[in-house]
Structure 1
Amino acid sequence: MKLPFTLLSPSQENCLPLVFDSPHSGINFPSDFKSEVPLSQLKSGWDAFIDDLWQDAVKVGGHLLHADFSRMYIDPNRAPNDIDPALLDAPWHECQPTKYSERGMGLIRRYALPNVAMYKEPLSRAQIEHRIKHYYQPYHQALSATLAKLHQDFGAVWHIDCHSMKSKGNGMNIDNGVARPDIILGDNLGQAAGAEFVQVVEDAFSKRGYNVVRNTPYKGGYLVTHYGNIKDNRHSMQIEINRALYMNEKAFTPNDNYHNFKQDISQVVKDIADYVSANV
């Protein structure tokens, strides 16, 4: 079976303890996925082109991991037991739904968009376990192993979880109807990444003219809270990019600013790499 992710690594001579991951940039749906929701609506959860925008991470010594499967199938940025019992055909003790499941956006999506149900029929425990075993766990194993090896080699590791966001929140979001800034940095209110590192990332965007906000409304999801541990010199933060900066949100195509924005991201990546290099 083909691996459900792509992991790009730098040369050994150029390697830094720096990892970028994009859990939502996949758009593939495995053959067992059955839904009547049209692809145009399923794409609403797709972090389109995020893996491409951050591609230069590898040139400066970073690793870049991205999922090849859609988060609408199973979401790597959720806890493995964040399962909505309403999706199942029978009770299952593993279900421990969080605030994400309450909004229909747990490990397995209940809704594609507000009031647009993903499934007409309940799912079985076996179906969900299959998704966890063959898609979710391999992604996390790749990320965990990469972070662990770098931490072992360097004594520290810096992880950036890369996302995109709609320019305005919808009814499934906690900021429904609110216009969003250019960039939102999430460090779980300072608990997942060192303040100096977060400031470097903020400065990298703001000095290029972008409006940057921290932790509102996104503090960082499961990946940031699970892998960040400042006391152990493991720094993890989330970057949310406003889609209007680089794409046509309705057509899911790059806009006229795509190339310029990608160049800016390349410079942001370089600033981050320079910081990491100076601290190992």
Structure 2
Amino acid sequence: MDNVLSFKRGSTPLLISMPHPGILLTPAVEAGLVEEAKRLGDTDWHIPRLYDFADELGASTLEACYSRYVIDLNRPQDDAPLYASATTGLFPATLFTGEPLYRAGCEPSREERARYLAEIWQPYHQTLAAELARLKAEFGYALLFDAHSIRSCVPHLFDGLLPDFNLGTNAGASCDPQLSERLLAVCAAARDYSHVLNGRFKGGHITRHYGQPQAQVHAVQLELAQCTYMEEQVPFDYRADLAEPTQEVLRDLLQAMLEWGRERYGR
């Protein structure tokens, strides 16, 4: 498959992973979707644009180009469930609303899905793993920031309104606790925004699998409420007036990660 991912190598120990902004569909997926799904409403809209300051920080960036409706890059390849509550799988069958993703009997075949695993999931994770290994070899450690967004209200997945900044560290297992404390301090200083650590979103497969602080790889997931930077309804427009102050907080979070790494490891 072409245009599976976009990767740019940086000059600091930080890698920003963006597994869900993609909107490309395979013919088999597109042909089977219900009308509501064709709007791609569960996309992490505009995430690459929101993090367009990454170059200034010297961060590496990895961006998926295919929709999560084809295959979810933040799920393990064996499709083991990550949450006890409602969620979606490696090959999603439902929308975030809980409604079916496909018309009855129109799901991609087992052979098609095996191809998606080999040609979309594997290249993303191979690139991610290789870049973390490169960063660790060059700097002695690596920092992984897994960047996500979601509508602020999805009753099927969580009650009420989601906080603006939802940090996840796999209940403290994916990064040094001093790093998560540093990030919480940044969020607390951003008084116009709400935040939580390891609330509804504790980190998906990427955070849980690659975050190995005992091996000097520290991973953090951010699930950002989309109301902080865009219109949450069709046509899902980017709102620069909302996004600019949100970007300042995101920049502060990533700078805090880099500063913590330099203090902790001396480089």
- The within-5 A match list for 1:190-201 is 190-201=172-183
Q: Aligned AA for 2:231?
A: N
Aligned residue number for residue 240 of structure 1: 223
User: Is 1:126 paired with 2:100?
Assistant: no
2:183 counterpart of 1:186: no
More divergent stretch after superposition (109-118 vs 154-163): 109-118
Q: Structure 1: give runs of 5+ residues left out of the alignment.
A: 83-96
Q: Amino acid of the residue matched to residue 189 of structure 2?
A: K
Q: Are the equivalent residues in 2 in contact too, given 1:100–1:106 (CA < 8 A)?
A: no
Quote the offset at 1:221 in angstroms: 0.6
Determine if contact 1:9/1:58 at 8 Å carries over to the other structure.
no
Q: Is the 8 A contact 1:61 1:273 kept in 2?
A: no
Residue 6 of structure 1 aligns to a residue in which SS? strand
Does the aligned pair in 2 maintain the 1:19–1:63 contact within 8 Å?
Answer: yes
1:75 Cα deviation (Å)?
0.3
Q: Percent identity?
A: 25
Cα distance in 1 for partners of 2:165, 2:147 equals 11
Does residue 153 (structure 1) correspond to residue 122 (structure 2)? The answer is no
**Aligned residues of 2:32 and 2:108 also touching (Cα < 8 A):** no
Give TM-score scaled by structure 1 length. 0.85
Q: Report Cα offsets for 1:113-155 as digits up to 9, x if no partner.
A: 3223324224422111111011111111110110011111222
In structure 2, what is the Cα distance between the partners aligned to 1:100 and 1:110?
Answer: 16
Report deviation, 1:101: 10
| Aligned residue in 2 for 1:107 | 90
Paired position in structure 2 for 1:5: 5
Mapped pair 1:65 → 2:62: yes
Structure 1 distance, partners of 2:117, 2:166, is 29
Counterpart position of 2:75: 78
Q: Is the 8 A contact 1:185 1:239 kept in 2?
A: yes
The runs of at least 4 aligned residues of structure 1 exceeding 3 Å deviation read 39-42, 99-104
Match of 2:237 in 1: 253
Using structure 2 for the length normalisation, give the TM-score: 0.89
Q: Is the counterpart of residue 19 in structure 1 residue 15 in structure 2?
A: yes
Change (3 A) 1:102 1:117: farther
Cα displacement (A) at 1:254: 1.5
Instruction: Tell me whether 1:43 sits opposite 2:40 in the alignment.
Output: yes
Q: Equivalents in 1 of 2:215, 2:100: separation in Å?
A: 42
Cα offset for 1:40?
A: 6.0
Once the two structures are superposed, what CA deviation does each residue of 1:2-47 show, in whole Å capped at 9, x if it has no partner? 340111222xxxx111111010111111233222323666522100
Task: Count the aligned residue pairs.
Answer: 259
Counterpart amino acid of residue 187 in structure 1:
T
Q: Contact 1:110 / 1:119 at 8 angstroms: preserved in 2?
A: no
* 1:202 counterpart = 2:198: no
The one of 150, 158, 165 aligned to 1:165? 150
Distance across 2 between alignment mates of 1:218 and 1:136 = 21
Conserved? CA contact 2:162–2:225, under 8 Å: yes
In the TM superposition, residue 185 of structure 1 has moved relative to its aligned partner by 0.7
TM-align CA RMSD: 2.1
For residues 181 and 65 of structure 1, the distance between their equivalents in structure 2, rounded to whole angstroms, comes to 26
Sort the Cα spacing of 1:40 and 1:74 in 2 relative to 1 into closer, same or farther, 3 A: closer
SS where residue 138 of structure 1 aligns? helix
CA contact (8 A) 1:16 1:276 kept: no
One-letter amino acid of the structure 2 residue matched with residue 254 of structure 1: Y
